[in-house]
A and B are shown apart, each in its own frame.
Chain A
C-alpha cells in the first residue's frame, strides 16, 4: 500500500503495524487474523470429514473428534467470521459515511488486540492437556468442573477476553456511525452495509453482555467452586442453556446481517441499479434484530419447558421469515431488469440468495416443535445452520473480498481463478451439506465421531466428505489467487474500478491515511453515483482544504491485550496439576501489565498530530 508517503516514514514497518490506530490498517490486521483462524477451523472440518468418510473409521479418536467439533464451531463463530466481518466494517464504514477514521481510533486498535489475544488464549489450549471438548455451546454439566477438563478453562477465559474486544469494537462502531457521518449523510441515506453494521454492533452490545455474564458464572463454578449450574447444590444447569442462547441466537444474526449488507452493496453495483426497496431493507434489518432476542428457546424445544412456551417461541421464530423474505425479494427485484455483470463478487452475491433461502426454509421447518423433536441433534440441524453460515455468511464474505479488494490492496483479484474458486466452492458446498439433510432424516446424530456399518450412511457420508474436500480445494485456489494477483494483477489507479455507487469509491486508490482531504457533501442516497450522473463526477467538498488532525499510533492496545492474556492464563494455571511457576505471579504480572498500560494511557497526554496543508496537497497530487 502506497500510503507510506502519508505516514511517518521514520517508523519501521513492523512497529508501524503493531502500533497502528488507522482503521484501514486495522482492517487488514483483522482480515489476516480472521483468515488464519478460518483456515485453522476449516482444516479441522476437513479432518472431521476424513474421519466420517467411512463407517467405523479410526483416523481420529473420539476425544480428538470432540475437540475438533468444539474448536471448529468456537473458532468459526468467535474468531474467524466475527473478525472477518469487522475487517470489512473497519475498512468500509468510515469511507462509506465520509469520515476520516472511526470515532475512537485507539479503542479500535484495543478491540483488535484484545480479540486477538483472547483467540490466542483459546488456541493455546492444545498445548496444555487438550482443547475444550464440550461443543461450542459448552452445555453444563459437560463443561462443569466435574466433567470438563482444563480445555474448558481456556474456552471460558479466552472467550471472555475476546468477547471484551468484540464489545469494545462494537461500541466504537455505534458511535462512529451515529456521530461521524459527513454533512448530508442522513440515516436514511446510509448505505445498507453501514445500516447492517450499526444493527450488528447494537446486537453485539445487547448479546455479548449476557454471554460475558454466563461465562463469568461458569468461570466461578469451575475455578472458584461456585454452584450456579450444579443441581446437587441447588443450582440449575438449564440456566446455562438459557443464558447461552439469549446470546447465541442474536450471535447468528450478528454474523449474517453484515453479510446481508455486503450482498446489498454488491448486487446493486453489478446490476447497475439502485437497491430495490431501500427503506424496507432498513426496517427489515431492524425487525430481524428485534426478533432475534425473542426466539432463544427454539434451541431448547426438547428440554421439556412445556407446550405453551414452545408454541410462543415457535411462532416468534417463524415470524423472522417475514422480514427475511422482504430482503430476499428486494435482492431479486434489484437484479430484475438490471444490466448484470457476473464476475466473482456477483456470482457469490447472487448465489447467496437461493442458498440462503434453502437455509431459511429448513429453519422454519426446525421451528415447528413437534417435528423438531425428530430433527433435534441430528445432521439435519447441521445441514440447516451450515446453509446459513457457509451458504450465507461465507459467500457474503467472499463477495465482499472480491468487491473491496481493489480498494484495500490496490489491485483486483484474478477473475479466472476467482470463478474457478466460486464454482468449486459452490458445488462442493451443496455436495457437502445438502446430503446431510437426508442423513439427518434417516437418523444420523450430530457430533458423533463414527457410525456403524450397514445402516445406509456410508455412501452419503462419502459424498459429503468429497464435497468438503472440494470446498477445501476452493479455499486453496483463493489463497493461490491472492498470491498470484499480488504479482501479476494490474495496479488499480482509478478511484472506482467497478463503476460503483457508494462513497468509498469516491476516495483515491490507494486511500490516503486521512481518507478524504475535504469532507464530502452528500446530496443523495448512493452519493457517488449521484455525482457521476447529476454532478461533475467528483464529490462536492463540505469544507475548505485545511490541515488535518490525526491520532498518533500507540503500542498500548497491544500491551493491554497481552496483559489480559497473561492474566487469563494465570487464572487457568490455578487449575493446573503442577504449574512451573506459582500462578499468583502470572496473575499479578497480567494485572500489572493491563492496568499499568491503562494508567500510562491515562497520564500520557497525546493530542495527535496535524498533517500540514502542503503535505496534503502533495499526497493528493501523487495519488490522483
Chain B
C-alpha cells in the first residue's frame, strides 16, 4: 500500500492557448485547460462524470505539430503545446460537424446548438431536404455490410418513431447523436447493468438492447442514469415526454428543490423538478460526492407516494 506521500506529484506544465501562456497540471485535458481560461470549446459527448469518448468531434482544436486536429476533451496537456481553438481549420471542422449532426439528428432539445450554429455559420439544411423517417424498428434491422441505397436528393437521417415500451422513460433515437454516454453510464462506468450497447456499424450504428428487445425484456433496472447523461433529450422521463407532447412543458413555470432521498440510508441528494405543483422529473447533482448524478429506480421514479402516476393517454 502506498501512502499519499509516495505518489508522484503531478507535474506542472506550460502551454499556449490562442497565444496565452498558461500553467496547467500535466494530464489535464485541453478542454479543462481551455475552460479554466474562459475559452469556450463546444462539446456534446463530453460528460463531467464519465471518461471522455471523443465521439462528437465538436471540441477539436489545432495543436501545432499534429497532422490532424485533436479532440480537446481527451488530449492531455503537455509541456510546450501550442493550441489554437479558433483557427480557420478548427472553425471549418466545427461548422461541418454541426451541419452533419444537425442534418441527420433532431437537435431541437440540445442545449447550446443554436448558438454554436450561429457562431460557426453552420447551415444544416445545405445537404437538401431530410429523407423520410424510418419505420418502427427499421433501423434496428439494417444488416451490417449491406449497402443501404438511399435517395441522394434527400439527406439521410436517423429519424424514427420514439420507442415507448415501459411506463418510466422513453427512448427517442431520432434525437440520438451516438455520444455513447448512456452506454457508459449503464455499463462499466456506473450502473454495471449493460442493458444497452452500440450496435450495427457506420450510419446504421445505434444504441440498442440485444436484438432490439423491449426494455422490459432487457436487463434494464430503470435507474434512469442514462437519462441523466443524455445531452440531446433522446432519453427522457415519460412524465416529461407526455407533457411536451401535450404542449404543456413549461420550464419557466418550474422550480427545483434539493432534498435527500428517504428510501434508504445512502443519502443521495435529489433535485426535484416541479411544475404547477407537480413533480415532473427527479435528478441528482452530477457533482454530488455520493451520487455523481446517479440514482436508482426508487430515487428517480419512486415519487408515486407523493403524487399518483399520470394516466397515459393511449396512442
Is B one of A's binding partners?
no
